[in-house]
Amino acid sequence: MAQTTAHPQRVVLHNEIHARPPEAMAAPLALSHVVMFGDAAAREASRAHLAALLRDHHLPLPDAHSNHVRMELGGFRLRWELHTEFVTWTFSRPFDGAGFGEQEPLTAVQAVPQDWLAALPGECLAALHLWVLPARDLHQHALTRLVLREETLVGSTVADGHGTVLTDFALHADGFSRMVLLEDGMPARRLGRLVQRLLEIDTYRMAALLGLPAARESSALLGVAERELASLAESIRVAGRHEEPQLLDRLTRLAGQVESHYAATTHRAFPPARPTSSWSTRACRTLTKASWAACRRWANSSNAGCRPRARPANGRCGGRMRCRSASRASATCCARGWRSSSSKAARPCWAP
């Protein structure tokens, strides 16, 4: 059959769409998910670090363009994913779920070479242990002995009631947070999709907060800018002609400072936070159906900690830094003989 001329990127784009399919999974299963944040050099170093592990196990090495690898390494399974801002490492292995909760639970990273694990390139942004267990084999009270903390326990049913997810949102002694998924007869592929979504929610919930430090820094700078702009507005109101050049110079310098900070922070911290925050919120809404027993609802608890802290990075500070438009309007009025409309022109666009 005759074929039309293919776009040169068709195969690459097609493969990218299907690059990270969920895996079929069966309970009981222990997973450990580690998110390493870093610059481009650190992300590329993770490829070499992965190659070192595969070389030690006499397995084929990833090529220079791979951004996703899944591999069995004897006692555990590894999933490596290279993202724009970070790298994720997911380790998993089956275990005997009998008596789960009666002693410190087994984790997937215990099967990983510890020296190699400690040398992961980048900085750890998130780390999570997730245990998948059949719901019929576990009693609720077993989780609050040695797995999760009862005082902060939250949980919800998911997947139309075929699963229950529980966590305590606490960092435990090994630096990992913990989550338990109780599945009630879910097909293997559906269970794999649910596990992948839970890991992604934990990852992007943390990534959504990356803009928070920059937002706090911006708030302090903008507070100073607000006071300076208010002082300028008052000076404009009472200034004489001979003072106009000095006031215009102050206004121009203020606009330059805010413009410079806006350019330095908006593309460094805020854009990664915006999509990850909204994605995490939507994912929680699609997963969560109802609270479980006496636990607080999981999605509400997850978003309660993330949403108010992600909001300054996503909107308020980004919008306030657009005061450059108000400063420019004021400067324009200055150049044109601005005393007649000075108070209106000097009002910042972000004022409440």
Question: For the CA atoms of the chain, what is the radius of gyration?
Answer: 26
Buried b (16+ CB within 10 A) or exposed e, 38-50: beeebbebbbebb
Q: What is the pLDDT along the chain (352 residues), one digit of tens a residue?
A: 777 888 888 877 776 666 677 889 999 999 999 999 988 899 889 999 999 999 999 999 988 888 889 999 989 999 999 988 899 999 999 999 888 888 899 999 999 999 999 999 999 999 999 999 998 767 667 788 889 998 899 988 888 888 999 999 899 999 999 999 999 889 999 999 999 999 998 888 888 887 777 777 777 788 888 888 888 888 888 888 888 888 888 888 888 888 887 777 765 554 454 555 454 555 555 565 444 444 555 455 555 555 555 555 444 444 444 444 444 434 433 333 333 333 333 333 323 3
244's CB contacts (< 8 A; 6+ apart) are 334
Give dist(CA 33, CA 86) in Å, integer.
13
